[in-house]
Structure 1
């Protein structure tokens, strides 16, 4: 942990970044340093980060950033290999699931001083949920020290193809009046048509988080110590999601998903509705040949409660970095600098971390979606962070997902699968709780 004297110096350096300096910067005090930054992303995201890094290097002419882009599927393995070989990147993407173990093992630095005690950065102007995903006080996630600065916050909204809706005579719900599940199914049936390569489905596979939470259930109990997937409300939601394909025929089968994913089907104009995050906007702007928008997630008829998840990736700074000042400045620049945030927003990669920019500049953009407010409503109102981010490890959640496809395929009922998988999930959850307390 750095001393208070060092922290003050670091905050002063960061203040220049957060003020949006262009040219000069603190290059003189940083010296000729090289730092590494490792992440993943689509070609559009890689292009955005090359631009942002160029902006940072202009502000800090004494610092050179080596940008390492790794395929998302390989990132975790590569990072673990680099950690084991003591060659951790100076700055790297941090998932909320890794905050607790990485903080406990000393892999990532405490960045609390970069979001407090300075005259430039207003913590009240950043989505609290975006920062809280990287807080940990040694016991409770979401509280205490900050071990990552938010790359973004990703509200998961329900997109729809406006052209297909018009052709099928379906009217999207008003933002404040979500459909019930029954109304969603009715609309999805109207949108489903054709066969073979011309098949159009009403919906992509539905968000299980949205269904489970809207039905008043969750994977774990309130203090995240007990697996609750056998709760009848959970089972009902899981079966409803599976039956969208098994009984209603309005979503692609698992086999069809394997041959052509719903994301591409949506871009091809052959999916009526699909869950998306803001990171998809840029690709939709470039590739979608139809009008699209987002709408509120449907609600369980039992509860009438809206629910969906928001995610995010953070920027972590390695405790082992030899140029920790420069690395922390890069993380702060990417997370908070107004010009960097504007670049990210205008290229369709994220809603801004800065609340005033999100509510002014972002909402005023003349690009889809028209109902941008829905993204903000999810962040401020009905979105939730994923349950597995509240536990020391997420192996219990991985086990749940390992064979949930058997329910989607109709090989097992939701009740059968929940009874089968619950004991192993509980064992792994207990092991994580014990490891956290060691």
Structure 2
């Protein structure tokens, strides 16, 4: 049920995970927030590991921008994927961030705190209405005012379920569970009917699960995590109940997207997140599963599924603010997002784009089945991963979850310890 950002990116198989790296024309004294001047001059736009697959797309986009704005010159530099995090940190410290940078919300947070990300609420608020509200809000930083990147593309994943297993357990295969309470009930029934041979879920809860359950993940000030509240403990206690009943796969503690996918393929797990590529795999390797596959939304008790969002940030210290803002908007406007979405399995963050027939009408192919299902859920989706929740924090949570599922700690003790560790790391971020 939980889908990590990396797993989601891998599932959509685009050779793209796409936060970005840097090397450009930073400098300048203080933030230049006035983007109303003439669009002209040289700017640098840097991507991460995109040239191999999308060279023609980006070269065409840049050429069109330079034609629209004579006197501009966009230098596109593409960095290899390896060492990206270190690269962006070094560029931030050395004053060599590019003018326009693709970032994910968690990557923009430290840059915004350091005064290196332009506040678009001040410099480009006129564009806000062009984007889905949830997407625009995704690059806001707790404890700060402002929005620090244009939303670019979105991703989410539907949930697959095995209709045959549902029917054999006496569950309605045409009405799959939608909320956590429903999936917990179904999972316990499945485990009971199969004497623990079939688990419904294959993954331990992640921070996104707590968000979709309705847990308040952080306080309003944005300076402390709070997912160990009563509702958080309630959710995790239910996961422990599932684990003990084998309704949660016994190997969930060490599960990867690949191992979970194999469990689903072999009928050992009844529900699993995935992509259109998985459907093709089912068709070839497990035709009986393919014929009885169900596609539904992610489980959520809030009415909003989780989305993963990438953005395009403007360097607050650029000497070419009008050109940098204009280019960042150009990359992410409705026309160019739609064009990019037709080349790669992503979804536009622009208002109205998901109503296009490309995202609403099926043509009988597996790719379209999944695309339509995912796009439908994105219109009011939320990025539940706190922008300040680092990879280190994810590890802390996962370690404590493992201890509690194994009976070494109570669910409450585990979440208390996880929150304490995450808050300690948060304070270290400054």
Q: TM-score, normalised by structure 2?
A: 0.70
* Aligned counterpart for 1:2 among listed residues 32, 35, 48: 32
| Counterpart-to-counterpart distance in 2, 1:363 and 1:273 | 24
| Counterpart-to-counterpart distance in 2, 1:148 and 1:127 | 14
2:380 is the alignment partner of 1:351: no
How far does residue 81 in structure 1 lie from its aligned partner after superposition? 2.6
Q: 1:319-361 deviations in whole A, cap 9, x for unaligned?
A: 45566665544432331141x3223333452222223220233
| Counterpart-to-counterpart distance in 1, 2:104 and 2:318 | 19
Partner of 2:159: 158
| Counterpart-to-counterpart distance in 2, 1:316 and 1:244 | 42
Partner of 1:342: 338
Structure 1 residues 230, 236: CA separation in 2 closer, same or farther (over 3 Å shift)?
Answer: same
Q: How many residues align?
A: 382
Partner of 1:149: 150
Partner of 1:372, secondary structure, is helix
How far does residue 148 in structure 1 lie from its aligned partner after superposition? 0.8
Does the Cα contact within 8 Å between 2:152 and 2:348 map onto a contact in 1?
no
| Counterpart-to-counterpart distance in 2, 1:81 and 1:267 | 43
How far does residue 79 in structure 1 lie from its aligned partner after superposition? 1.6
Partner of 1:180, secondary structure, is helix
How far does residue 130 in structure 1 lie from its aligned partner after superposition? 0.7
Structure 1 residues 177, 386: CA separation in 2 closer, same or farther (over 3 Å shift)?
Answer: closer
Structure 1 residues 132, 232: CA separation in 2 closer, same or farther (over 3 Å shift)?
Answer: closer
* Aligned counterpart for 2:58 among listed residues 38, 53, 56: 53
How far does residue 414 in structure 1 lie from its aligned partner after superposition? 1.5
Q: 1:51-85 deviations in whole A, cap 9, x for unaligned?
A: 431331331465442222415xx432232133334
| Counterpart-to-counterpart distance in 2, 1:349 and 1:46 | 17
Flag structure 2 segments of 5+ consecutive residues without an equivalent.
1-30, 67-72, 284-289
Partner of 2:272: 274
Q: 1:183-214 deviations in whole A, cap 9, x for unaligned?
A: 4305754998998xxxx753331544465346
Q: 1:100-128 deviations in whole A, cap 9, x for unaligned?
A: 431232322344577544xxx6x434201
Partner of 2:32, secondary structure, is coil
| Counterpart-to-counterpart distance in 2, 1:47 and 1:365 | 30
Structure 1 residues 84, 286: CA separation in 2 closer, same or farther (over 3 Å shift)?
Answer: farther
Partner of 1:369, secondary structure, is helix
Partner of 2:307, secondary structure, is strand
Flag structure 1 segments of 5+ consecutive residues without an equivalent.
11-28
How far does residue 386 in structure 1 lie from its aligned partner after superposition? 2.6
2:369 is the alignment partner of 1:369: yes
| Counterpart-to-counterpart distance in 1, 2:370 and 2:350 | 20
How far does residue 244 in structure 1 lie from its aligned partner after superposition? 3.4
| Counterpart-to-counterpart distance in 1, 2:246 and 2:86 | 39
| Counterpart-to-counterpart distance in 1, 2:339 and 2:115 | 33
2:142 is the alignment partner of 1:131: no
Partner of 2:159, secondary structure, is strand
2:291 is the alignment partner of 1:315: no
2:411 is the alignment partner of 1:414: yes
Question: Is the deviation greater in 150-159 or in 317-326?
Answer: 317-326
- After superposition, residues 29-48 of structure 1 pair within 5 angstroms as 35-39=44-48
Does the Cα contact within 8 Å between 2:178 and 2:298 map onto a contact in 1?
no
Does the Cα contact within 8 Å between 2:152 and 2:312 map onto a contact in 1?
yes
* Aligned counterpart for 2:113 among listed residues 90, 104, 108: 104
Aligned residues: CA RMSD: 4.3
Partner of 1:274, secondary structure, is strand
2:81 is the alignment partner of 1:70: yes
Does the Cα contact within 8 Å between 2:217 and 2:226 map onto a contact in 1?
yes
Question: Is the deviation greater in 307-316 or in 179-188?
Answer: 179-188
| Counterpart-to-counterpart distance in 1, 2:266 and 2:63 | 40
2:83 is the alignment partner of 1:87: no
| Counterpart-to-counterpart distance in 2, 1:293 and 1:331 | 39
2:186 is the alignment partner of 1:181: no
How far does residue 237 in structure 1 lie from its aligned partner after superposition? 1.2
Does the Cα contact within 8 Å between 1:39 and 1:92 map onto a contact in 2?
no
Question: Is the deviation greater in 371-380 or in 358-367?
Answer: 371-380
